[in-house]
Amino acid sequence: MASADKTKPSSALSLPVSVVVLGIAFIYVSTVFVFIDRWFGLLSSPGIMNAAAFTALAAACALTYRAAILTDPGRVPSTYAPDVEDVHSPVHEIKRKGGDLRYCQKCSHYKPPRAHHCRVCKRCVLRMDHHCIWINNCVGLANYKVFFISVLYAVIACIYSLVLLVGSLTYDGSQDEEKNGSSFRTVYVLSGLLLFPLSIGLCVLLGCHIYFILHNKTTIEYHEGVRALWLAEKGGSIYKHPYDLGPYENLTSVLGPNILRWLWPTGNHMGSGLKYRTIFDQGASTPK
């Protein structure tokens, strides 16, 4: 999976990415130097502990966000060709059950299972989930795990910041209000307007991807599956997602077999992205 280790050039910077970076910086500064300082005092033991914990969490969020931006999601090798003689190789669109070979007219080469063409990146992406404007990159084979972890850290950071915001509001700082009332109110209003909808949106996004991981689906496959389910019910048959191998196997296929490294942003266990186990395989081995 050498191609998946390549990084995107500096053009990964965009307006949405800049907005996210500024948002992270604002939330960090307001949380540490306003909420924590006003509630506990930065030089007190609780203040130091909370500031250190939130700083570590913000750093993890920022680093995984950067990795999601810069990691190439996975390129289809130029030499890739489906093995039509391998009866166990899913060279056909599984959702079509015996349709034509998967061929991309725009890239002029065959597509492996679960690969899709991105109109924004103008190329096929291995195990493509979706194109995300907030990272100015596709989410695919090589960066899906780090994208998921980044969202997880962001949710924890937002909830943590909200707790500190609400807690600091209970602080009776009448002298501080007299001296800095206007500036404090501005920070609290802006933080509340940012944190509340952001927390809700990120929680919904995290919940969706937890569901996708447990069912071994990408966002694209989920929407395709809704239509496939409707067509199956209309035809009197039962639709099953071909890559759903059970919750535990689905989970380890994305986060890795070692539970101690589930929150570590590595994806070497994902394989080449050219072949995947399906529910139709009999005694199939791990994809290569």
HEC per residue, 99-125: CCECEECCCCEECCCCCEEECCCCEEE
The reply to whether 132 belongs to the active site is: yes
Q: Considering 132, 138, 158, 203, which one is annotated as catalytic?
A: 132
In angstroms, the Cα distances linking 57 to 22, 52, 70, 154, 226 are 17, 9, 20, 8, 36
Residues 92, 100: contact at Cβ < 8 Å?
Answer: yes
Following CA atoms 18, 23, 24, 28 in sequence, which dihedral angle do they give, to the nearest 10 degrees? 140
Q: Among 8, 125, 128, 131, which residue's Cα sits nearest to residue 70?
A: 8
Q: Among 221, 255, 258, 274, which residue's Cα sits nearest to residue 3?
A: 274
Residues 109, 78: contact at Cβ < 8 Å?
Answer: yes
Dist CA 109 CA 124 (whole Å): 9
**Catalytic residue set:** 132
